[in-house]
Structure 1
Amino acid sequence: MDIMFLIILLAILIIPSFLMSRRQRAKMTEIHKLQESLVPGDRVVTTSGQHVTVVSTTAETVDLEIAPGVISTFEKLAVVRVLAKANAPQAVVEDNFEPETDLDRGDNTDGRNQGHPENL
């Protein structure tokens, strides 16, 4: 009985750590592939949270444009996410967008309780 309890206890401790390490290894592989696929013009996010543009890359480093004309060299490991690929189509923003108002819907014409989600 004591041996069976010991085996169950070890299984409870070993199985979750094994599953977490597999998940972490898969995530690291995904980030490494992302870092190797960087090309000039990509919009990326660094580990410090900066949104920057890739200017050029080498095997270990990447030159990032932080602001117009300001270029810094980072390790590729600092890039954690791609916001937009260089050749990817960008979203089109309509210039003539006008949000719908309460008056357009015909309710709340007296102006009370505007802005509260329950009253819309």
Structure 2
Amino acid sequence: MDILLLALLVVVFLGLPVLQMRKQSKQIGEIRNFQSQLTPGMIVQLTSGLHGRIADVGETTVDVEIAPGIITTWERAAVLKLVDSVAAGSAEADHLTGSAADQVPDDLSSLDAAAERGEDIAEQSEDLPDDADRRDEGESGRP
């Protein structure tokens, strides 16, 4: 009975870690294989959670376009997984490719409403203390 208990303890303390190491090394091999097959145009997720489209692949680095015209350089090891552009939703794909919502108007007509709101803010700012009141408060900001 004591030998059976000892054998069980040996299996638990030595066998389980070996199985876990094998599983982990298999996962690492799959990730390295994926990272070696990176090509421009793929939409990927980085280990930081950032999503982007691969713009260029170097020997040890990857250039990732995180917004139209904004390219950042990352180590290949930072690429975690491939994101399915269709399954991830059209919002993300539109963001990465530059949709109509990303377009900036050539004129300032769309800012008229903001200018009107700015006038309201200017009227409310009259209630705030001016610089002379702040000087009376001293350095600590207390009256």
Q: Aligning the two structures, in what range does the TM-score lie when normalised by the shorter sequence?
A: 0.5 to 0.7
Correspondence for 2:109: none
Moved over 3 A (4+): 1-5
Tell me the distance in 2 between the aligned counterparts of 1:6 and 1:84.
Answer: 50
How many residues matched?
A: 88
Unpaired segments of 5 or more residues in structure 1?
94-120
TM-score, structure 1 normalization: 0.65
The residue type equivalent to 1:73 in the other structure is: T
Correspondence for 1:17: 17
- Bigger helix fraction: 2
Unpaired segments of 5 or more residues in structure 2?
91-143
Two-structure CA RMSD over aligned residues (Å): 2.0
Q: Who wins on radius of gyration, i.e. which is larger?
A: 2
Tell me the distance in 2 between the aligned counterparts of 1:19 and 1:39.
Answer: 33
Tell me the distance in 1 between the aligned counterparts of 2:21 and 2:36.
Answer: 22
- Bigger strand fraction: 1
Correspondence for 1:46: 46
By how many angstroms is 1:6 displaced? Answer: 2.8
Correspondence for 1:31: 31
Correspondence for 1:79: 79
By how many angstroms is 1:61 displaced? Answer: 0.5
The residue type equivalent to 2:42 in the other structure is: D
Point out the more displaced range, 75-84 or 37-46.
75-84
Identity of aligned residues (%): 38
